[in-house]
Chains A and B, each alone.
Chain A
Amino acid sequence: DVVMTQSPLSLPVTLGQPASISCRSSQSLVHSDGNTYLNWFQQRPGQSPRRLIYKVSTRDSGVPDRFSGSGSGTDFTLKISRVEAEDLGVYYCMQGSQPKYTFGQGTKLEIK
C-alpha cells in the first residue's frame, strides 16, 4: 500500500498568518489516466470530514480561496494564506491513485 506521510503533525498558528502542511507519498501518485489523485480533507472537532481539494489543486465548491493545493509526483502541499478561527481542526491528505486508497496521519491546526 502507498504510505502517506504528513508533516508537521501539529501546527500552532497565529490567526491571520499563513500555514502550510506537507504530504509525501511512498510512490508516485500519477495515475495511468494521467491524473494525480491527491486530495485534502478538513475535519473540525465533532464533525464528519469535508473534502477541500481534489486532484492536487482543485478546490471543492464552497471552499474559500485562501486554501490552495500544489505539488506533483510524491510531494504535495496544502497552504492556507491567512488562517481564520474556523480553519482549526485536523487536515488529512489522501491518495486515490492506487486501487487501495490511504490517508496521511493528520495534521492538527491549532492556535498558538
Chain B
Amino acid sequence: QVQLVQSGAEVTRPGASVRISCKASGYTFTDYFIYWVRQAPGQGLEWMGFINPSGGSTTYAQNFQGRVAMTMDTSTRTVFMELSSLTSEDTAIYYCARGLRSTTCYWGQGTLVTVSS
C-alpha cells in the first residue's frame, strides 16, 4: 500500500535551517509529484510547493521562494524539504503529500517543527 513516512519532530533556533524527509513506498516513486503543505498552530493549510521525482524539477510558492529547497534521493525513494532562515512564524506541522490535484491522494503523518530561542 502507498505510504509516505516523514521524519520526526524538530526543535531549532531562529535563523537556523531545518530539513525534513518524506519516504515513499508502495508505488513507482518517479510517477507522482510530492507536495509540501504546512499548518501553523491553529491556522489553515499553506501550500509550499512540489518536486517532480522524475527529473527533480521544483515549483515553490512565492512566500517561500529563496528560502525553501525540495530535493530527492531516488535510490532511497525519499524527498527532502529544507527551509532556511527560520523564525518563530515557521513553527508548524509540515506535511508531504502525493496526488493533491487529481490522482489518489495520500498524506504523510506530519512533522512538527518548533522554532524557539
Which residues on A are within 8 Å of B, measured CB to CB? 1, 35, 37, 39, 41, 43, 48-51, 54-55, 60-61, 90, 92, 94, 96, 99-106
Contacts and interface: CB of A to CB of B under 8 A. Distances in A.
B102 A96 contact: yes
B95 A49 contact: yes
A16 B108 CA distance: 32
Nearest to A102: B47
Provide the main secondary structure of the chain A interface.
loop
Given A48-B95, A48-B110, A51-B100, A60 B44 contact: no
Nearest to A103: B45
Given A60-B105, A100-B59, A100-B62, A106 B44 contact: yes
A102 B61 CA distance: 9
B62 A101 contact: no
Contacts of A39: 100-102
Interface in B94-111: 95, 100-102, 104-105, 107-110
Interface of B: 35, 37, 44-47, 49, 59-62, 95, 100-102, 104-105, 107-110
B45 A49 contact: yes
Nearest to A60: B105
